[in-house]
Structure 1
């Protein structure tokens, strides 16, 4: 986590200098400001991995800074304040803060808190990254890129074909009733019937199955509908 970017926001110069010193000793890249407006701007331009945020600031208090940052980012926000009233602590966490420390505090304890939040954020980022790509043997589904590869070659799906495949692949081996699957992908207000769904399944099989007549991924569940089938132990993320 060395090299992580830390934004320190505090209107007390001595505290800002102390926090920055300890963060830099850990190998973090630090930017600091003493007012709320600059804090919001730096959150966007500096793109910190964690924000250490005081409540009492110039131009805009820490609560408002937190709300503005949280509207566009899930970066960990650690409040530090001389206010130790439960109301302030609860409010800080309610508007989007991840943690709260009251002044005076031990710099080493602050470092430990920062490390814990960065470690947790790293784990969460890895989980999100894993969730964005679904892998099933020869079949790879890239969710943010909205691409599908079979045997290393990209296949082109329509919007509904892609949504249908993702819905099935995210719940492997779960049987979906025709009506339920149609409603999930097309919505309650869509006009049509399950024949539309069956046509899309047929098209999908032609594009992703080695043998569309004998599908191994999208299989029919008699009397129910369809499921995305994977064998136990098959590689998938």
Structure 2
């Protein structure tokens, strides 16, 4: 083979080698890109799965928390209902129920129940006895029973108690001229030590005062002095 043929052969070999290298590099790049996309897709899928798992876990925890909050403070209680109900008896129900729920379990109210004075919305207490009154009935309660009256009646009772207490306090702050000593009598407006001694002497001679007006019989106490002291004295 002459030199020209050798050169041509050598050039062809070089071109084939270069072409092979170029093809190898191209295929290698293509494979690398495909692997990168697959890895990215896989990572994305793993991230989505993790997020879904976190959301499911969070949702589950939230549901459990809501359930726990709902159950807090709710328990079963047992009460006894008597009086004007269809069937008297013991009822067990959850603590968030009202008197109306307990009455319903016993068949409801009778036609004689005092519906105007029954507070069916009242909360129930465990181990209590609730008495449903009939119209016009006043029930004397013992320590374990409760008459289910309305707030109106409760307010009236509270007002009456308050008025009685006020009257008692007012009466208690007055000076009892039948038992007062010299110093107490001396504190009465218009009564000095001399007049106080006269009151004591009158009481010793005539006994207890029958009314506060009788104090005007004491020498030195007239109508004017009596007007100034009448709201501050009493007889018992």
TM-score range, shorter chain: under 0.3
With normalisation by structure 1, the TM-score equals 0.24
Pick the structure with more helix per residue.
2
Pick the structure with more strand per residue.
1
Which structure's CA Rg is the greater one?
2
Say which structure, 1 or 2, has more relative contact order (CA 8 Å, 6+ apart): 1
